[in-house]
Structure 1
Amino acid sequence: MRALVLHPEIKSDRDRRLAEHALGEAVSLALALPDLEVVGAEIVRLPTVHPGKLFGSGKLQELKERIEALEVGLVLIDGPVSPVQQRNLEKEWGVKLLDRTGLILEIFADRARTREGVLQVELAALSYQRTRLVRAWTHLERQRGGLGFVGGPGETQIEADRRAIDEAVTRIRRQLSRVVKTRELHRAARKKVPFPVVALVGYTNAGKSTLFNRMTGAEVLAKDMLFATLDPTMRGVALPSGRKVILSDTVGFISDLPTQLVAAFRATLEEVLEADLILHVRDISHPETAEQARDVAAILAELGVRDSVPQIEVWNKLDLVEGEARVALEGQAARSDDIFAISALTGEGVEALLAAISAALEEEKFPRDLHLPFAEGRKRAWLHEQGVVESETEDESGHRLSLRWTARQEKRFRDL
């Protein structure tokens, strides 16, 4: 199907990202969906959002002429589109339309392979579909399903749809609870074996799967494509010290990740919540790598990842950076204990990263007595969160704590 990608840039609500980069990401998303041919992409600057049709009448006509000239069958809008706007635009242009959330759900539906992944996608898609029904018209021109927003003709009454969706959600949650119990049993079994879990996280297309393959010798799908990995993959890895760890590759994060997916994939990302060490893999060659890193940090916080879990930042795709920029990045990484510049593709820097993983998991702990005034409640809470407090007493001036911690934890405490 021939597709046109539109990125609306609203003058009153411009975010920190350049519209050109946002459009490029939207095109990459579209290309991640099979059987789609992207024949056009453009930024549409909007003074204001039209509540009924998103665009003003002049822009509507201009886009309609472009759609007809390119013989487009699907328009992808990189942003939120209300059910009313979607209905009106589809009637106006005579094409099918997907917003950003719908497109990401389509990709996830196409990529899910494990039983849990498929169920999580179905649950997310149904949640999305139900919000469209609640705010849509009494009758829908076409029924939108979790695994086929792009197609599927048919007319269904809203109440019947809503009831059918609720029944499907109940059924899927029941099936998911069984899958989650199985995962919990596997995780409990792993805890009996003293193998720490190292989780790879990062923005989609940062190169996590390439690094996973490099470290484990596995053959996980690794392509220059958004959401190439959807289901978590786990493998055992022997570190240079001889210690064995479990390495977990996870789904890539993305800006404006649909809230349905953040909730639905929480179970899939449980390996991150249980991790002993997190490797935050960044595409350091990307022009918006800093913004991507902030998005990843925000999603990790939303998932409830504890501050106590140590993190190493992996600046990947160093092979794509040249000249003075590369020298500067390598120098900056060399000055930090928690940053490693590598190329997962060529293997450069991976040995040093493996050694750092060994060191992070095998840091020596030493005792320390500390006195905190009552006013230092935040620091005291942080120490308890870290699990480093062995005993505690209280006197008239504050708390006396006996600690056992690592040099890394002491440094972080000093920086609070």
Structure 2
Amino acid sequence: MDFELYALTEMVRRCATATAPISFDRGTEQDFESECNRILLSLHSNIAGTEPGTARAYLYQHQIGIINIFKRTEDQLLEPGTDNGNANLLKVYQKLLLELLNEIRSSFPNYFDNHSEVPKYLINDFNIKHGHKLTFLLDSTKKKGLPEDLTELLKEIFWVKYPNLIETTFSKMEYLTNTLAVLLDIIETDTELEPLGLITDLISLEFNHPVFYSFCCGFILGQIELVENISDQFHTLQFLLKKIEQLQPISVSVYEPKLPGVKEALIRFIKSEISYIRSLDFLSEELSSGGLMEKNYRVSFTVRQLAIFIHLQVETGIILVDKPRLIHQYASRHYSTPETTKISEKSFKNSYYGNSADDLEKVISKITHMLVMAQEKL
């Protein structure tokens, strides 16, 4: 079908390879516009009465051909040192090509391939059209006191980049447009919006963007760290699990059809965290009931000194652990000090990452004593 797009291709090629500015007037623009109209009429004529599979393949070849012409204009405008004075004409061509693509998509919704990648021009057009809406959304989240990382997430998602880690398709652009409109309505009507509320709204909107999924996992782990013992962590996870399981979809489409649904993925993530906490609790009870480990070791260190001592063992490779949080949980459950019989996980965590000179000296004194005793055994 390339021959049917030959005239458009040649107009762009001449504009891109000309060694001097082309005379640019209304007639030049009309020639390109007339050719776009001819292609649209040709599509209507040739697709009418055609078997759906054949019609879809025929339209797809035209769609990809027009997108390739688009990319030729983009390459010419982006490539340094290639400005031949025809940039404005190329931008006019881009505008007319966009109108042609939109007309084709509107005229043949059942045949247009919405999962093909959009040209950069369409991404820029989206950012320009919706930039003020995004600014309003971000300003509103700040005024409502929502966390900065949530505001940054919305900015990263709705300010579309090119190239992107995930291919930006026509369906994604439509999804982002619709979702942005819904979020603006939520922001304006919900006077007491909280982070969890906005997160669950996005889950209901089937927003399975990888960045959003990662953010949700971080949010869930953050909620766990706000409570001090495994029992409270278990109840927090159960609450979040119930909250997400009860969500109903409010969108007929998803952001990325090739990826798992965000609701299902988060349910699996929470259940895995619940299983992990259960295994920790079960192992602790088994060891304690079997007499292999005391439920609580009493040490002469203060909480701060104990945290320093354990941190040193982790840093030197004596204790091997993937997540510092496991150490904090274990210490809070199985140690007591002269100060307290129940160590707060939060206070242990704070002491783990910060220490005073006095506490460090007392730990060094104990370690030195241990070294002397070891030396005597040689």
Fold similarity call, TM over 0.5: no
Higher percent of residues as helix = 2
Shorter-chain TM-score range: under 0.3
Q: TM-score, normalised by structure 2?
A: 0.27
Higher percent of residues as strand = 1
